[in-house]
């Protein structure tokens, strides 16, 4: 105990925990801030810490050690040097050239890998790291953590079957610092009341559609239609003739918020078809959504959008565009609503974490982008559309990967699901559309609880 306390007091002098008022990544005001990175600047303390972390696990069972980037990297390295257990390095993002692997080092599938984390809060970043390590074929059973902020992270991981060992809890740290007069009673009270008010389980709350901060008229309109119809369903009409398209629109129109099209797959695209489609959309109260996935410089996109055979600018409510060419390239679509492709559903997609972050930055800077297509939660100022949804299939043989409505509403806080083959290929598309509407709306309601 004495050694643990000594270590903490020394680490405190290095500035690993600060008291005052700090805005956390989540936007929450916290009376303290923890940052273990300064420890790496003190070899002696880093060694002590790593030794203590190794004590928490059965060294004999370890085959590899991996630190969650970046703060835990020096700790994992030091643990590897002390124990002789090989180190592997997890990248934060794919470097884009060379092997393109997310894990660097020598390892074999099936090996057991100990994960090292500095601070655990909700456990979200650890879950992501575990996913990536497991994707490489490694086994994760144990995780060691220096500090538990006691905000539900441990429970989240234990529920998934991982053994988590922690050196300190935040309450322990506060008590030790108080005992040695580094914190006075008033400060202890403030920090403890903050900790008590903080939820013990991760309570991510999703925002109701009507409370979303969407300004764009097409986005507002989508929300109004969704609430009127009790539907979060966008049907993807990937049919190849105008007859099939108009039939589908007529049959399922009253169950959907938008009909998503790939106009360039329709063999007999005509303006009569467009006129008819528009009249069905007006009658059945849904929007027309061209999934064109523009991906060029602004000037070319503008020509593709306003000229050519399809002249989308004249008749669609919204279009999809990649963000790859940057923010200015997206302005050419004004005033049509733009749905930014931030992340794709297909196996092997290049939209990794780095891409998604950069893409969201572009989307958020663009005034006419009101929604994003992604397979993860995005911020409240964009609506989230998620394709790759199917109740029966797990995927196709061309890389598509499916999830259920329940999964995407619950885990990603999706606002609208996009369903193609689940509806238009069903024996009875009307029955299928009603099933996706109903299950989608119920899953959305459940995710609000
Ligand atoms: P499906 O039949 O439900 O697999 O069709 C999905 C539709 O969504 C299809 O039109 C795709 O082009 C579209 N899609 C997708 O599946 N995944 C993506 O990441 C993006 C679009 Br972006």
- Cα separation, 394 vs 295, in Å, equals 28
Q: Average of pLDDT values for 232-257? A: 98
pLDDT of residue 177: 94
pLDDT tens sequence across 37-62: 999 999 999 999 999 999 999 888 89
The answer to whether the bond into 70 is cis (omega within 30° of 0) is: yes
Alpha-carbon Rg for the chain in angstroms = 26
- Cα separation, 389 vs 422, in Å, equals 8
Token pair recorded at residue 44? 């002696």
pTM given for the model: 0.66
pLDDT tens sequence across 93-152: 655 555 557 888 999 999 999 999 999 988 888 888 898 899 899 999 999 999 998 888
Q: How confident is the model at residue 379 (pLDDT cuts 50, 70, 90)?
A: confident
What's phi and psi for 276, nearest 5 deg?
A: -65, -45
Q: How do beta strands 17-23 and 29-34 pair? A: antiparallel
Mean pLDDT taken over the chain:
92
Q: E strands, 96-218, where?
A: 103-104, 113-120, 142-148, 163-169
pLDDT of residue 107: 94
Q: How confident is the model at residue 200 (pLDDT cuts 50, 70, 90)?
A: very low
Q: E strands, 241-352, where?
A: 258-261, 287-294, 318-322, 337-341
pLDDT tens sequence across 233-243: 999 999 999 99
Distance 368 CA to ligand 1 centre (A): 22
3-state secondary structure 50-79: HHHHHHCCCHHHCCEEEECCCCCHHHHHHH
Pocket test for ligand 1, best of 239, 386, 420 (most atoms within 8 A of CB): 420
Residue indicated by tokens 């925002």: 207
Pocket of ligand 1 from Cβ distances under 6 Å = 236, 238, 291, 341, 344-345, 373, 387-388, 390, 400, 418-422
pLDDT of residue 99: 54
The closest residue, in CA terms, to atom 3 on ligand 1 is: 420
Distance 236 CA to ligand 1 centre (A): 8
Token pair recorded at residue 256? 């959907």
Phi-psi region of 88 (alpha: psi -120 to 50; beta: other; left: phi over 0): beta
Maximum separation of any 2 CA atoms in the chain, in Å = 83
pLDDT of residue 129: 87
- Catalytic entry in 47, 124, 293, 438: 293
Catalytic-residue membership of 296: yes
Length of the chain in residues, anyone?
A: 449
- Cα separation, 117 vs 126, in Å, equals 8
What is 368-410 written as a DSSP string? TEEEEE-SS---TTSEEEE--B-SS-SB-TTS-B-B-HHHIII
Q: Which of 267-271, 363-367, 379-383 reaches the highest mean pLDDT? A: 267-271
pLDDT of residue 121: 86
pLDDT of residue 81: 97
Q: How confident is the model at residue 1 (pLDDT cuts 50, 70, 90)?
A: low
Distance 310 CA to ligand 1 centre (A): 20
Centroid of chain to Cα 381: 15
pLDDT tens sequence across 397-444: 999 999 999 999 999 999 999 999 999 999 999 999 999 999 999 999
- Cα separation, 358 vs 348, in Å, equals 19
DSSP letter at 411? Answer: I
Those residues whose C-beta lies under 8 Å from the C-beta of residue 438, and which sit 6 or more positions away, are none
pLDDT of residue 59: 84
Catalytic-residue membership of 293: yes
- Catalytic entry in 224, 285, 296, 380: 296
Q: Average of pLDDT values for 153-178? A: 92
pLDDT of residue 100: 57
Distance 223 CA to ligand 1 centre (A): 21
pLDDT tens sequence across 274-316: 999 999 999 999 999 999 999 999 999 999 999 999 999 999 9
pLDDT of residue 91: 82
């Amino acid at each position: 105990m004495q050694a643990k306390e000594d270590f903490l007091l020394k680490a405190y002098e290095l500035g690993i925990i600060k008291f005052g008022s700090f805005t956390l990544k989540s936007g929450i005001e916290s009376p303290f801030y923890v940052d273990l990175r300064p420890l790496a600047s003190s070899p002696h303390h880093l060694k002590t810490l790593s030794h203590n972390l190794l004590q928490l696990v059965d060294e004999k069972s370890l085959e590899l050690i991996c630190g969650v980037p970046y703060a835990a990297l020096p700790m994992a390295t030091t643990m590897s040097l002390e124990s002789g257990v090989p180190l592997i390095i997890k990248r934060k993002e794919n470097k884009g050239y060379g092997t393109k692997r997310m894990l660097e080092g020598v390892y074999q599938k099936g090996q057991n890998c100990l994960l090292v984390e500095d601070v655990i809060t909700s456990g979200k970043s650890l879950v992501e790291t575990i996913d990536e390590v497991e994707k490489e074929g490694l086994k994760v059973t144990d995780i060691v953590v220096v500090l538990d902020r006691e905000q539900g992270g441990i429970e989240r991981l234990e529920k998934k079957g991982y053994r988590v060992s922690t050196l300190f809890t935040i309450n322990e740290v506060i008590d030790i610092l108080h005992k040695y007069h580094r914190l006075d009673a008033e400060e202890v009270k403030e920090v403890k009341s903050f900790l008590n008010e903080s939820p013990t389980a991760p309570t991510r709350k999703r925002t109701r559609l009507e409370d979303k901060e969407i300004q764009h008229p097409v986005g507002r309109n989508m929300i109004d239609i969704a609430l009127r119809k009790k539907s979060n369903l966008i049907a993807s009409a990937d049919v190849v003739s105008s007859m099939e398209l108009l039939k589908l629109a007529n049959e399922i129109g009253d169950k959907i918020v938008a009909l998503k099209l790939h106009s360039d797959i329709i063999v007999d695209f005509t303006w009569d078809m467009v006129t008819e489609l528009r009249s069905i959309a007006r009658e059945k109260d849904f929007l027309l959504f061209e999934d064109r996935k523009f991906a060029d410089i602004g000037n070319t996109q503008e020509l593709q959008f306003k000229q050519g055979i399809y002249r989308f600018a004249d008749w669609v409510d919204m279009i999809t565009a990649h963000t790859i060419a940057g923010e200015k390239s997206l302005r050419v679509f004004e005033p049509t609503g733009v749905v930014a492709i931030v992340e794709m559903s297909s196996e092997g997609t290049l939209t990794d974490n780095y891409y998604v972050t950069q893409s969201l930055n572009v989307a958020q800077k663009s005034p006419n982008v009101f929604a994003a297509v992604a397979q993860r939660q995005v911020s409240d100022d964009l609506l989230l559309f998620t394709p790759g949804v199917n109740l029966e299939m797990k995927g196709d043989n061309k890389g598509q990967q499916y999830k259920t409505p329940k999964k995407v509403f619950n885990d990603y806080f999706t606002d609208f699901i996009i369903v193609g083959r689940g509806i238009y290929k069903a024996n009875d598309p009307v029955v299928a559309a009603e099933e996706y509407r109903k299950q989608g709306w119920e899953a959305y309601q459940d995710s609000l609880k």
